[in-house]
Amino acid sequence: MEIEGVQGDPITNLEDWRKFGPPAHEVHWKAGRSAMELARFWVGTDSANTESEGIIKELLGSEFPDLQLTRGFPEAKSQFDRFGGNVRNHDLLIEGINEGERVVIAVEGKADESFGASLEDQLVAANSAVAKNPRSNARNRLEYLTGLFLDRSAEQEANDPETSGIGYQLLTALAGTLAEASDDQVAVFLVHEFETWATDRRNQEENERVYRSFVELMTETPEQ
- Averaged pLDDT, 10-27: 95
Instruction: Express each pLDDT in 65-111 by its tens digit.
Output: 999 999 999 999 999 999 987 789 999 999 999 999 999 999 999 99
User: For residues 55-88, b (16+ Cβ closer than 10 Å) or e, as one string?
Assistant: ebbeebeeebeebebeebbbbbebebbeeeeeeb
**What per-residue confidence (pLDDT) applies to 89?**
95
pTM for the structure as a whole: 0.93
Share of the chain above pLDDT 70, in %: 97
**What per-residue confidence (pLDDT) applies to 183?**
67
**What per-residue confidence (pLDDT) applies to 85?**
78
